A and B are shown apart, each in its own frame.
Chain A
Amino acid sequence: MDAMPDNAPAQLAPGTPPLVLLKGIAKYFPGVVANQDVDLDVMPGEIHALLGENGAGKSTLMNILTGIYQPDAGEIIVDGYAKHFASPVDAIAAGIGMVHQHFKLVKAFTVAENIHLGWSQTPKRISAAALEARTADLAASLNLAVRPGARVSDLSTGEQQRVEILRVLARNARVLILDEPTAVLTPAEARELFRALKQFVARGNAVIFISHKLDEVLEISDRVTVLRGGRKVTTEKTADCSETMLARLMVGREIVLSDLRARSSGAAKISAEPVMSLRGVSARDDLGHTALDRVNLDIYAGEILGIAGVAGNGQKELSQVLTGMRPATSGKIIVDGHDFSAADAAAFAGFGVGHIPEDRLHSGLAPALSVTDNAVIREYGKAPVSAGFLYRPREAAALARSIAEAASVTVPDFGMPVRNLSGGNQQRLVARREMRIASKVLIAAYPSRGLDVGAINTMMRYLVELRDAGVAVLVISEELEELLNLSDRIAVLFHGAIMGVVDTAASDIEEIGLMMGGQRKAPTPQPAGL
């Protein structure tokens, strides 16, 4: 591994122009200022982190730099020359390439075919073997391990990302932009990626690294530029930064993400009897495989129960079984003493079970319908939105406005399709909507997924608010730290079975980590406060 100088820009000869210089960039969308007066300079040999909340304008800025959008004001200067990018083709020709968060690969094609797709240097007539040989040469010269003959659909996410990076670098990119690259990687894959990035910049190139994760930014980057509300807040040397400082710059206030388990004096006590119980519940996934395997679980009112586990171990099916969206193939679901084993989603919601679903846009919302229609989906059957069989659009709009207000989401037009809202705003709306009906239980699947630090903090506060009001809250998350901060007990799911339930106060990450890997813990403790 090549060692990176502490401060790459300082070691350049004086007068070296930045690889990329953005000056006074502005971009307006109808009703939104996405970027305003943004300056950014990226020097050869540096990894430059771009940090900001959801909607801070990071993606817009990068889309401008890669020619997807054209700026409404400002200049793009590459290597000292002003450039105008009419399309991503122009940007890549100028040596600027981007790896998006969602890969843009053809899954049915091989790695070699993906690398050569839409590339002017691909020979017109070439055999598959020759394509693979070319790919292998490229990979070797750029020091990225890929399997040229493998089909993309057979690759792990980390491998797919390497293919994406190779595709960009093969086109002689000197500036590599990565959007949340580690979101999809295992820690080992992330370390490997970081190593490759450092080698890349050591050759005089530059990386722009978009991330929410503060620890990562501190680990990998040389300088950090923070955006907030579409404007640049500051650019700092990473060595001069700390996590708390970056968090404050990003959201504009101090973040306290700890000890949410402490209760205020007025908070509801944890109930003696569980409000919801699973007894030997099994369920199948969409393909008919066993997804939940004889799960026993108790959720008490006034507590937050965390569900830890690597994604894909039955979390989705658990949240659906707990809200009546998926039938249990065996076992009993008891809610407040009643048998809900055969109840449907309407019965659960009617009883006071709210549900923040894993995939909010596709299961919690009707994307093409208006914000109003979506906001009232839980309460359209009740007064004042309905009177008898009538549905009252004006009352619905009023309810939608109050939900948006409680969620601090500014909606320019409640009649516009809800898909036009940003992902973070959709999530906040859904969360607030569900909190309104969650008088007994809230099932929150990955409530902070896709949110930035500030919005995660707000979301956690929502959950704590509910807990203190005496609601049983179940939180499914992949972020262990979040669960440790938030929940009173943590249950670990592995291959659809509960490996054990631990009291958060008396546990440590290592114990939970072992259970996530499939080690069972013997007894199930009662919640604290009994």
Chain B
Amino acid sequence: MAIRIQRIPSAPPAAALAARAVAIVLALLVAGLVLAASGADPLRLASQVLGATFGSSFGLEDVGLLVTPLILTGLSVAVALKIGAWNIGAEGQFYAGAFAATAVALFVPGPTVLMLPLMFLAGALGGLVWILVPTLARAYADVSELITTLLLNFVATLMVYYVSTGPWLDPSGHALATTARLPHDIPEFWGIVHWGFPLAILLTVLVAAVLNFTRWGYEVRIAGSNPQAARYAGMPFRRRLIVVMLLSGAIAGVAGMLEVAGTVHRLQGGISNNFGYLGIMVAVLARGSALGVLAGAALMAVILNSGIILQTQGITVSTVLAITGLILFFTAIGDELAHYRVTRTKPVGA
């Protein structure tokens, strides 16, 4: 018997799923080995992480809080990818959304029941404005959105640092680097998890439905896959590109609004917690599927939460980032390997 390896053009779903599972296990194994080498006891740490995450409702609530922004930033990146654009700027749009929502909350008086929807709109608008220039530059001048969206991240980050330590600094004097507590909170529905969580899921399902079950969504998929074919079929590629990119920015802005109004309750520097960048990873893990974003975000949230628990055990935050990187790395390899098939044949010419 001879064993041979063969590449097949498209990976069967079962193989792809199995490869991913193996990839995650391998990444955790490697991380465990490194931890063991640096003197920690990986088994004890693992049982602590698992116990603290899934053993109590507190752990699950923490994950629920983390997963909400991850779903939306992941969705933001995934939606842009559908039309073939790389939105590296979900981070900046997240800040812009949080900024706009905070401005409305702090400076517009009104009852919470009115103000929350208004803040939601402001958040979406903030994200949309933040991606507007990169969108138009891409649509009309073919300027790479990869660069422009990335650069605007730094502007948004610094802008939020500035207002939260300067003009909008909490006048009560209790806080040194944040705005005052926002007067309007998104209500909680389970422990500390607010209604932003189901809203994020709803938005994802909605976007998936629009992409798969509307004419507009069909045009977006064709245009994203091959702009030439869209031109051939007479679809307005540029209009679709603009709308999809603006939608992508608005979704990331909503993530920022939910974070500031539901979880943190104050605008402060570093509020994004890298959710915008992690959204890129969530979208890559989702393999271009809007619903896959939910699974990707859940995995990411568990990893982040594990990182927080590990930090209480004296493991540094860079270790957690390394684990995230390892998972992405092994997943990429796994995705490629899922295209291969091992067959056995009778020896040839023996």
Query: Which residues of chain A have a CB within 8 Å of any CB of chain B?
Result: 29-30, 70-77, 82-84, 323-325, 344-350, 355, 357, 362-369, 373, 377-378, 380-381, 386, 389-393, 416-417, 419-420
Contact = CB atoms under 8 A, between A and B. Distances in A.
A390 B216 CA distance: 8
Given A369-B222, A417-B10, A389 B214 contact: yes
Interface string B220-249: 011001101101111100000000000000
B216 A366 contact: no
A14 to B, nearest CB: 25
Given A345-B233, A393-B212, 11 more contacts: A73-B345, A73-B346, A74-B348, A84-B347, A84-B350, A357-B232, A362-B228, A363-B231, A377-B222, A380-B218, A389-B214
A381 B229 CA distance: 15
B232 A355 contact: yes
A73 B226 CA distance: 39
A454 B232 CA distance: 28
Contacts of A380: 215, 218-219
B137 to A, nearest CB: 22
B231 A325 contact: yes
Nearest to A25: B348
B229 A82 contact: no
B85 to A, nearest CB: 16
A75 B349 contact: yes
Contact of B225 (A83, A324, A363, A368): A368
Interface in B265-313: none
Contacts of B218: 373, 380, 391
A362 B227 CA distance: 9
A350 B234 CA distance: 9
A273 B9 CA distance: 50
Given A70-B348, A82-B349, A392 B213 contact: yes
19 contacts: A72-B343, A72-B345, A73-B346, A74-B348, A82-B349, A346-B233, A346-B234, A357-B232, A363-B232, A367-B225, A368-B226, A369-B222, A369-B226, A377-B222, A380-B215, A391-B213, A391-B217, A391-B218, A393-B212
Interface of B: 4, 8-10, 212-219, 221-222, 225-226, 228-229, 231-235, 343, 345-350
Most chain B beta-carbon neighbours within 10 Å: one of A72, A366, A417: A366
A76 B346 contact: no
B239 to A, nearest CB: 12
Given A76-B348, A364-B232, A417-B10, A391 B4 contact: no
Nearest to A349: B234
A345 B229 CA distance: 11
A84 B349 contact: yes
Nearest to A26: B345
Given A82-B350, A369-B222, A345 B215 contact: no
B234 A324 contact: yes
Contacts of B345: 70, 72-73
A377 B348 contact: no
B1 to A, nearest CB: 13
Contacts of A365: 226, 229
Contacts of A77: 349
Contact of B233 (A349, A390, A393): A349
B340 to A, nearest CB: 13
Contacts of B348: 70-71, 74-76, 84
B225 to A, nearest CB: 4
B226 A391 contact: no
A366 B222 contact: yes
Contacts of A346: 233-235
A29 B343 CA distance: 11
A353 B7 CA distance: 40
Nearest to A64: B348
A73 B212 CA distance: 43
A348 B348 CA distance: 56
Contacts of B8: 29-30
Nearest to A83: B349
B349 A420 contact: no
Contacts of B10: 416-417, 420
Contact of A390 (B215, B219, B347): B215
A72 B334 CA distance: 26
A462 B350 CA distance: 50
Closest 6 CB pairs of A and B: A346-B234, A82-B349, A345-B234, A366-B225, A366-B226, A84-B349
A368 B235 CA distance: 18
B9 A417 contact: yes
Nearest to A345: B234
Given A30-B8, A366-B225, A389 B231 contact: no
Nearest to A386: B215
B107 to A, nearest CB: 38
A420 B9 contact: yes
A373 B234 contact: no
Contact of B229 (A74, A366, A419): A366
A245 to B, nearest CB: 34
A302 B225 CA distance: 36
Contacts of A391: 212-215, 217-218
A15 B213 CA distance: 69
A83 B345 CA distance: 15
A369 B226 CA distance: 9
Nearest to B226: A366
A429 to B, nearest CB: 13
B216 A389 contact: yes
A344 B225 CA distance: 21
A76 B349 CA distance: 6
A381 B233 CA distance: 11
Given A363-B228, A390-B214, A391-B217, A377 B233 contact: yes
Contacts of A386: 215
A390 B343 CA distance: 44
A378 B233 contact: yes
A325 B350 contact: no
A356 B176 CA distance: 67
Nearest to A377: B233
A56 B214 CA distance: 40
Nearest to A30: B8
A347 B234 CA distance: 8
B322 to A, nearest CB: 33
A393 B213 contact: yes
A69 to B, nearest CB: 8
A367 B10 CA distance: 12
A19 B38 CA distance: 63
A325 B9 contact: no
B222 A373 contact: yes
Nearest to A415: B10
Contacts of A325: 231-232
Contacts of B215: 380-381, 386, 389-391
Given A70-B4, A369-B221, A416-B10, A364 B229 contact: yes
Nearest to B225: A366
Contact of A377 (B9, B212, B229): B229
A273 B8 CA distance: 53
B44 to A, nearest CB: 46
Nearest to A365: B229
Contacts of B221: 366, 369, 373
A369 B222 CA distance: 8
A350 B226 CA distance: 21
Contacts of A368: 225-226
Taking each of B4, B212, B215, which has the highest tally of chain A beta carbons within 10 Å of its own beta carbon?
B215
